[in-house]
């Protein structure tokens, strides 16, 4: 059947748009200059966790390894909850950089740093109670309880630095200096690895040594980031922003963005928590198999998040410069590369998924269950890629309300479906999860169209 002239015109127009983005060398170079450092810095994070586990695993008692796992998880939860500091800072900074408004760049940095310090005070105030309640809920042994508590309390000395690194990573990415963000994160992570080995195995400080290594590493990373940010600002005209820091109107946009991203992130985390809870009801082997498969999602996220982070910076810069063509090129090129990467991951999991599972466990029953659900893991990158890219677009544009509303709407729409699919067991759980990830992206499409039309 021949296509109508209208459909032919639509396809021809979009082919031209895609070809323009694909062939634009400047956009490609800027995208990869930002994406590669962010991918490398993302990959350094699991390396630190692996080294921590390997080093503590050489100590004589099992409760020591368990204490570090529990204490680190609780600490990571605090830091993760504050991830909105980076995302909100990136979007506003990138737009200010696109406008070449160096006063606004300084203002955003100071506001975000002050907000990080205020959050530190609030979190530290309630952290000890959180730890004790969590350990009691876990019914931990006395040795594990005491050691995990000691580890966590030492790690709290590094919390201000960890939140400062959130801000500095977002700000440096926003000014399109991803290499500086990479150096900051590598300084922290590599120092952590080296000191971990020295303090635990060399000085025999055991679990406390691992915690002290992390604290020192976090402060070194924060100091490195502050130095790199100051060096960037020294290269541009100095301006005074102290008066604007005292104005509530100057704070409202940043605070609103942080609030929206926090609510969106909590809703997303609630979905992952419910997946774990429902898997637990299906049996220990099922929840273990699901956890191994979801590690594949984490692996995919390391690569795709690097491209999404780059899109954040390019989006904000294009909007700040009022360059709709640059925005469209950045979005389409990021989407094309992300689709290629997700297709590669899908093929990897489909062809070698059994080996991926085998690397993680030797339990035959868990392996057998995971093998049955590998097709869902292979589909996952092809479905999640859309929301990764669109998140990058909306963070860069500081359209956080739209992100929040789309996430909450996706949860509300998919909750009934998840309940109805329960009779299908773990198949129903995976279908509900894949459906949520797809609906999450679809809910962002109307706002995406409005954003692109407004920028044109």
Q: What angle separates helix 62-81 from helix 142-155, to the nearest 10 degrees?
A: 40
The count of other CB atoms within 10 Å of the CB of residue 153 is 17
Q: Which of 14-28, 243-257, 310-324 has the lowest mean pLDDT?
A: 14-28
Give domain limits for the chain: 24-246, 257-456
Measured between alpha carbons, how far is 414 from 437 in angstroms, rounded to an integer? 10
The pLDDT score that the predictor gives to residue 68 is 79
| 3 state SS for 125-183 | HHHHHHHHHHHHHCCCCHHHHHHHHHHHHHHHHHHHHHHHHHHHHHHHHHCCCHHHHHH
**Closest by Cα among 448, 433, 426, 429 to 383:** 433
Measured between alpha carbons, how far is 284 from 223 in angstroms, rounded to an integer? 44
Q: Which residues contact 46 (CB under 8 A, 6 or more apart)?
A: 298, 302
| Mean pLDDT, range 66-93, rounded to an integer | 85
Residues 143-152: tens digit of each pLDDT: 877 888 888 8
Which phi and psi angles does 58 have, rounded to 5°? Answer: -90, -5
What pTM, to 2 d.p., does this model score? 0.86
Residues 60-73: tens digit of each pLDDT: 776 787 777 778 77
Locate 440 and state its tokens: 């999450």
Pair 403, 391: CB distance under 8 Å? yes
Pair 120, 160: CB distance under 8 Å? yes
Site of tokens 């503590």: 56
The pLDDT score that the predictor gives to residue 81 is 83
Q: CB burial class (10 A; 0-12, 13-18, 19+) of residue 227?
A: middle
* 282: confidence class by pLDDT, cuts 50, 70, 90: confident
**Position 93 pLDDT exceeds 70:** yes
Pair 162, 218: CB distance under 8 Å? yes
The pLDDT score that the predictor gives to residue 239 is 72
Highest mean pLDDT among 225-239, 262-276, 403-417: 403-417
Site of tokens 């080294």: 51
Q: Which of 263-272, 399-408, 440-449 has the lowest mean pLDDT?
A: 263-272
Q: Which residues contact 178 (CB under 8 A, 6 or more apart)?
A: 33, 34, 35, 36, 37, 38, 172, 309, 310, 313
| Mean pLDDT, range 245-274, rounded to an integer | 89
**Position 106 pLDDT exceeds 70:** yes
Residues 28-68: tens digit of each pLDDT: 899 999 988 888 877 766 566 557 767 777 777 767 877 77
Distances (CA, A) of 254 to 56, 86, 115, 171, 197: 40, 11, 10, 13, 40
**Closest by Cα among 338, 314, 341 to 326:** 314
The pLDDT score that the predictor gives to residue 391 is 94
């Amino acid at each position: 059947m021949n296509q109508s002239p209208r459909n032919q015109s639509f396809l021809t127009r979009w082919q031209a748009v895609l070809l323009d983005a694909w062939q634009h060398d400047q956009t490609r170079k800027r995208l990869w200059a930002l994406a590669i450092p962010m991918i490398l810095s993302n990959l350094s994070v699991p390396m630190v966790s692996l080294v921590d586990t390997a080093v503590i695993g050489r100590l004589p008692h099992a409760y020591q390894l368990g204490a570090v796992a529990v204490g680190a998880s609780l600490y990571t939860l605090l830091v993760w909850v504050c991830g909105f500091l980076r995302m909100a800072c990136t979007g506003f900074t990138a737009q200010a950089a696109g406008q070449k408004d160096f006063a606004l760049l300084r203002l955003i940095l100071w506001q975000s740093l002050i907000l990080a310090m205020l959050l530190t005070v609030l979190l530290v105030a309630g952290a000890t109670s959180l730890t004790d309640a969590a350990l009691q809920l876990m019914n931990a042994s006395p040795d594990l309880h005491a050691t995990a508590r000691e580890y966590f309390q030492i790690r709290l000395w590094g919390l201000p630095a960890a939140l400062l690194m959130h801000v500095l990573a977002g700000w440096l990415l926003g000014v399109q200096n991803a290499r500086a963000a990479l150096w900051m994160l590598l300084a922290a992570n590599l120092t952590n690895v080296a000191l971990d080995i020295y303090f635990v195995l060399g000085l025999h400080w055991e679990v406390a040594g691992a915690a002290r290594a992390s604290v020192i590493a976090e402060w070194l990373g924060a100091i490195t980031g502050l130095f790199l940010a100051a060096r960037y600002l020294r290269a541009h005209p100095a301006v005074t922003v102290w008066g604007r820091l005292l104005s509530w109107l100057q704070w409202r946009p940043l605070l609103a963005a942080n609030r929206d991203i926090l609510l969106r992130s909590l809703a997303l985390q609630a979905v992952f928590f419910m997946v774990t809870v429902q898997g637990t009801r299906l049996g220990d082997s099922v929840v273990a198999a699901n956890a191994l498969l979801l590690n594949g999602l984490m692996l995919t996220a390391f690569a795709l998040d690097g491209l999404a982070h780059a899109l954040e910076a390019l989006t904000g810069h294009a909007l700040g410069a009022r360059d709709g063509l640059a925005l469209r090129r950045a979005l389409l090129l990021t989407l094309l590369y992300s689709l290629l990467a997700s297709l590669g991951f899908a093929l990897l999991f489909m062809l070698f998924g059994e080996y991926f599972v085998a690397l993680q466990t030797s339990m035959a029953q868990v392996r057998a269950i995971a093998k049955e659900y590998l097709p869902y893991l292979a589909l996952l990158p092809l479905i999640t890629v859309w929301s990764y890219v669109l998140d990058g677009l909306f963070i860069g544009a500081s359209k956080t309300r739209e992100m929040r509303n789309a996430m909450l709407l996706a949860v509300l729409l998919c909750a009934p479906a998840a309940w109805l699919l329960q009779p299908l067991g773990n198949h129903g759980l995976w279908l509900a999860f894949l459906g949520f990830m797809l609906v999450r992206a679809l809910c962002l499409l109307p706002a995406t169209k409005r954003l692109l039309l407004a920028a044109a």
